[in-house]
């Protein structure tokens, strides 16, 4: 192997190492505590913001949006990630919320993740 | 891609040269081999692309459409529900005559009063001029409003008339006007 080829391979290895060490490639997750809720319940939303080494990314702002079946997006919630990169928030289902499938989207550092849940309409049945 | 076809003879020439290089010059031989393979591959792709080219194809390329926001109510348009990626232009891609393209985005009311919105295009923004007569632009936001702090998913539809002629690519600006009162019918 010639010195030039060795030099080229070494340079490529150094560049890959620098990218891995100093460039953060984030990933985000989002989850809800249940898959379906009754009206006026609280939806517990949680997740993690991690880097490519699976280490939590602390002190970053996570924006959470809840979209109803008709495409209406409720006012967004912003939370900070903790020391371990985790975040948590509660969204109260409004009394006049429509029934159907809702979508929770969490975004931070230019990436996002979504999760759906169902909101059941309570019917009062006279006996 | 058609230009890649020019690489084919270059690749063949390098391939013939690679054979004549002695075994002690293996680095040069390897480089010549790589260039030759690249040339032949590029050439093949170029020839395929040229043969697949249909000068009679009638699809319409919509390069870019600007979004202009006007009105007294503070609002913005975003690609995502979390309102982190603002919409500045819309790529419709290629549409065949008679086809309808769909684009979905979100309108967010960032003001303190209800947001009613009206969508149109400015005829003067069309490039080429007069192409607007071959298109219909609609959205599903009619008779709706957005409360302060809320957002609304909106679907835009662009229909290309089947009798479109002489237009292969165009652009225009979409104008969304916001107000705190409903627009007259």
pTM: 0.72
Q: Which of A87, A34, A36 is nearest to A57 (CA)?
A: A87
Residue B40 in this model has a pLDDT that exceeds 70: no
Q: How far lies B78's CA from each of A41, B82, B106, in Å?
A: 29, 8, 5
Q: Could you give the residue ranges of the DSSP H alpha helices within chain B?
A: 7-20, 26-52
Average pLDDT estimate for B107-120: 92
CA dihedral of residues B125, B127, B133, B136 (deg, nearest 10) = -70
Total count of domains within chain A? 1
Confidence tier at B57 by pLDDT (50, 70, 90): very low
**What chain B residue is nearest to A76 in terms of C-alpha separation?**
B82
Q: What is the CATH number of the domain that holds A39?
A: 2.60.40.1930
Q: Which residues of A71-82 are buried (b: 16+ CB within 10 A; e: fewer)?
A: bbbbebbebebe
Does the residue A16 lie in any domain?
Answer: no
Whether A87 and A11 have beta carbons less than 8 Å apart is answered as no
The ranges assigned to domains in chain B are 2-52, 60-179
Q: Which of A115, A55, A110, A64 is nearest to A82 (CA)?
A: A55
**Structural class in CATH, domain B60-179:** mainly beta
Does the residue A68 lie in any domain?
Answer: yes
CA–chain centroid gap for A119, Å, is: 20
CA distance A122 to chain B (A): 25
For residues B160 and B58, give the distance between their C-alpha atoms in angstroms, rounded to a whole number: 12
pLDDT of B97: 87
To the nearest whole number, what is the mean pLDDT of chain B? Answer: 76
With a pLDDT cut of 70, the percent of chain B lying above it is 64
Residues in B closer than 8 angstroms to A73, CB to CB, are 81, 106, 108, 150-153
Residue A1 in this model has a pLDDT that exceeds 70: no
Residues in B closer than 8 angstroms to A1, CB to CB, are none
Residues in A closer than 8 angstroms to B107, CB to CB, are none
CA distance B72 to chain A (A): 21
Can you give the residue range of the structural domain that contains A46? 25-120
Tokens of A54: 């699976």
CA dihedral of residues B28, B31, B36, B38 (deg, nearest 10) = -170
pLDDT of B42: 63
The answer to whether A3 faces chain B, any CB pair under 8 Å, is no
Residue-wise pLDDT for B138-156, tens only, equals: 999 988 899 999 999 999 9
For residues A87 and A29, give the distance between their C-alpha atoms in angstroms, rounded to a whole number: 10
Whether A123 and A41 have beta carbons less than 8 Å apart is answered as no
With a pLDDT cut of 90, the percent of chain B lying above it is 25
Collapsed DSSP state (helix, strand, coil) of residue A70: coil
Residue to substitute from B34, B81, B84, B106, interface A, most A β-carbons within 10 A = B81
For residues A87 and A60, give the distance between their C-alpha atoms in angstroms, rounded to a whole number: 10
Residue-wise pLDDT for A35-77, tens only, equals: 999 888 899 999 999 998 899 999 999 999 999 999 999 999 9
Confidence tier at B48 by pLDDT (50, 70, 90): low
Residue B37 in this model has a pLDDT that exceeds 70: no
Chain A segment 37-56 residues within 8 A of B by beta carbon are: none
């Amino acid at each position: 192997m010639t010195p030039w080829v060795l030099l080229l391979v070494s340079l490529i290895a150094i560049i890959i190492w620098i990218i891995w060490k100093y460039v953060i490639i984030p990933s985000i997750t989002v989850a809800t505590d249940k898959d379906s809720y009754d009206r006026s319940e609280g939806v517990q939303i949680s997740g993690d913001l991690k880097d490519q080494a699976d280490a939590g990314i602390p002190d970053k702002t996570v924006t959470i949006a809840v979209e109803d079946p008709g495409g209406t997006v409720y006012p967004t919630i912003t939370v900070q990630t903790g020391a371990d990169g985790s975040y948590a928030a509660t969204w109260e289902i409004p009394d006049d919320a429509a029934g159907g499938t809702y979508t929770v989207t969490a975004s931070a550092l230019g990436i996002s993740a979504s999760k759906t849940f169902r909101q059941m309409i309570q019917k009062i049945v006279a006996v | 891609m058609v230009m890649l076809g020019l690489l084919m003879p270059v690749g063949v020439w390098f391939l013939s040269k690679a054979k004549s290089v002695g075994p002690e010059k293996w680095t040069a031989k390897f480089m010549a081999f790589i260039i030759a393979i690249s040339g032949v591959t590029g050439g093949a792709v170029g020839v395929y692309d040229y043969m697949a080219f249909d000068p009679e194809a009638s699809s319409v390329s919509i390069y870019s459409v600007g979004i202009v926001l006007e009105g007294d109510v503070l609002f913005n348009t975003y690609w995502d529900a979390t309102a982190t990626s603002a919409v500045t232009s819309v790529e419709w891609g290629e549409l065949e005559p008679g086809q309808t393209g769909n684009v979905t985005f979100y309108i967010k009311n960032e003001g303190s009063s209800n947001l009613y919105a009206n969508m149109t295009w400015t005829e003067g923004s069309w490039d080429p001029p007069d192409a607007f007569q071959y298109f219909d632009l609609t959205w599903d936001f009619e008779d709706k409003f957005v409360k302060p702090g809320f957002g609304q998913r909106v679907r835009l539809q662009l229909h290309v008339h089947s009798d479109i002629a002489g237009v292969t690519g165009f652009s225009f600006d979409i104008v969304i006007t916001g107000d705190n009162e409903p627009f007259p019918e």
